[in-house]
């Protein structure tokens, strides 16, 4: 089976992990801060806080921004459920903003309309979480301008978008957001097995997220609230979690960073071939000087009534097609909050079919995929 996405693991990656296994630290030790620094340097962000999943990063990002009961968090319905679950973990309420019909990214026009209505009703969001779907950055300048006007905070869900660029600067630099979150799940751009990271330029947010990832405990004497009663003293100052990344994971991530730029270029090349063969009219949207997609996914659109049959045809040939995503508000868990159907999200989902895309995919494998889809063009 050609999967829709898969990790690339080199001998250097394996050696880096083995080195940690032979060292004194298995859980969070000296490699975690090195990995955090490597990602922060790549993204031109001040701080990176490594945790054990992208979901954990979204959770502590919401908490650090003060999300709690009575607050609203808005996100995109065309995303993995974790983009919305993080708000529910904090006791907040979730609502969804419709997407752009062509990219599946949060629509600025829809956001603007929804904010104006929410202002009248007194239900403005505390946080908006735009998702860089498939790796293409959202229109962050416009979303940031709306945040200034309406007073909400921004978490970029960049779980698809490590390596993306927006206006010639790396996604993750938080120029237009408070916090940006990455995932290192094996199908994502680089992997640590499981893992995630929250980027920020705000020292206070970084400090709070570091506390939250490790039980709310600090051992830093400068930060103590009470007087220490001995050199063993530490303090729990808030209700945190065990969301720590291990040095084993960080070593893999740090080693993977060496390939990041090459992988993004390779993904871009493979995606360009797909567009040229299957959807040339969409090329300019995805290859512009303004934005570089990280091309986590290649989502093709077919006539909705043909999708199930094409999906099965691909699967029967050992081609691991997939679908990203059923709008989150259609999940049974979310139906209790169900907003009215969002027309562009529904339309985007109806014909979407994800084709395999990862650095190890070959042109021969791509050609096999065109053979199935070309007759439908
Ligand atoms: C993968 C993903 C997450 C969650 O990341 P994990 O590391 O699997 O917890 C969140 N949001 C989006 C958009 C994702 O694709």
Question: What pLDDT is attached to residue 369?
Answer: 92
Cβ of 157 less than 6 Å from ligand 1: yes
Task: Tell whether the torsion through CA atoms of 224, 229, 230 and 235 is positive or negative.
Answer: negative
Contacts within 8 Å (CB) and 24+ apart, 63-69:
63/90, 63/208, 63/212, 64/179, 64/205, 64/208, 64/209, 64/212, 65/126, 65/127, 65/153, 65/155, 65/178, 65/179, 65/205, 66/126, 67/92, 67/126, 67/127, 68/92
Question: What pLDDT is attached to residue 260?
Answer: 97
DSSP 8-state assignment for residue 109: H
Question: What pLDDT is attached to residue 340?
Answer: 73
Cα of 159 to ligand 1 centre, how many Å? 5
Cβ of 160 less than 6 Å from ligand 1: yes
Q: State which of 7, 51, 54, 196 you would mutate to test the pocket of ligand 1, scoring each by most atoms of that ligand within 8 A of its C-beta.
A: 54
Cβ of 128 less than 6 Å from ligand 1: no
Please report, for the chain, how many H helices and E strands are present, in that order: 13, 15
SS3 320: coil
DSSP 8-state assignment for residue 141: H
Longest dimension (CA), the chain: 76
Nearest ligand 1 atom, CA 160 = 15
Tokens encoding 213? 């990832």
Cα of 52 to ligand 1 centre, how many Å? 11
pTM for the structure as a whole:
0.97
Question: What pLDDT is attached to residue 3?
Answer: 86
Domains, the chain, with CATH or none: 11-376 (3.40.640.10)
Cα-based angle 261, 255, 169 (whole degrees, multiple of 5): 30
Written as tens digits, the pLDDT of the chain (377 aa) is: 888 888 999 999 999 999 999 999 999 899 999 999 999 999 999 999 999 999 999 999 999 999 999 999 999 999 999 999 999 999 999 999 999 999 999 999 999 999 999 999 999 999 999 999 999 999 999 999 999 999 999 999 999 999 999 999 999 999 999 999 999 999 999 999 999 999 999 999 999 999 999 999 999 999 999 999 999 999 999 999 999 999 999 999 999 999 999 999 999 999 999 999 999 999 999 999 999 999 999 999 999 999 999 999 999 999 999 999 999 999 999 988 777 789 999 999 999 999 999 999 998 999 999 988 888 77
Question: What pLDDT is attached to residue 115?
Answer: 98
Length of the chain: 377
SS3 157: strand
Tokens encoding 135? 């790796």
Nearest ligand 1 atom, CA 53 = 7
Question: What pLDDT is attached to residue 132?
Answer: 98
């Amino acid at each position: 089976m050609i999967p829709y996405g898969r990790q690339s693991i080199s001998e250097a990656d394996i050696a880096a992990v083995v080195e940690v296994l032979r060292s004194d630290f298995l859980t969070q030790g000296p490699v975690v801060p090195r990995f955090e620094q490597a990602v922060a340097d790549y993204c031109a962000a001040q701080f990176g806080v490594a945790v054990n999943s992208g979901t954990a990063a979204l959770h502590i990002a919401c908490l650090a921004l003060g999300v709690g009961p009575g607050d609203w968090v808005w996100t995109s319905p065309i995303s993995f459920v974790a983009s919305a679950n993080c708000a529910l973990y904090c006791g907040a309420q979730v609502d969804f903003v419709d997407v752009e019909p062509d990219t599946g990214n949060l629509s600025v026009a829809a956001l603007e309309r929804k904010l104006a209505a929410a202002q009248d009703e007194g239900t403005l969001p505390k946080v908006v979480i735009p998702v860089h779907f498939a790796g293409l950055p959202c229109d962050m300048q416009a979303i940031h301008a709306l945040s200034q006007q309406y007073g909400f905070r921004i978490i970029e869900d960049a779980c698809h978008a490590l390596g993306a660029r927006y206006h010639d600067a790396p996604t993750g630099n938080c120029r237009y957001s408070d916090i940006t979150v990455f995932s290192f799940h094996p199908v994502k751009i680089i992997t640590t097995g499981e893992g995630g990271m929250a980027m920020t330029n705000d020292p206070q947010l970084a400090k709070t997220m570091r506390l939250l990832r490790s039980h709310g405990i600090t051992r830093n004497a400068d930060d103590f609230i009470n007087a220490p009663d001995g050199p063993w003293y530490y303090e729990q100052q808030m209700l945190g979690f065990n969301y720590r990344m291990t040095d084993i994971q960080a070593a893999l991530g740090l080693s993977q960073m060496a390939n990041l730029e090459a992988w993004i270029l390779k993904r871009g090349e493979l995606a360009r071939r797909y567009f040229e063969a299957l959807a040339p009219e969409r090329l300019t949207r995805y290859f512009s000087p303004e934005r570089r997609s990280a091309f986590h996914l290649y989502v093709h659109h077919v006539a909705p009534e043909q999708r199930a049959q094409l999906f099965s045809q691909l699967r029967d040939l050992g081609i691991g097609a997939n679908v990203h995503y059923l709008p989150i508000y259609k999940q049974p868990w979310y139906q209790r909050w169900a907003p009215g159907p969002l027309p562009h999200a529904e339309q985007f989902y109806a014909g979407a079919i994800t084709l395999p895309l990862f650095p190890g995919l070959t042109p021969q494998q791509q050609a096999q995929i065109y053979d199935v889809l070309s007759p439908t063009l």
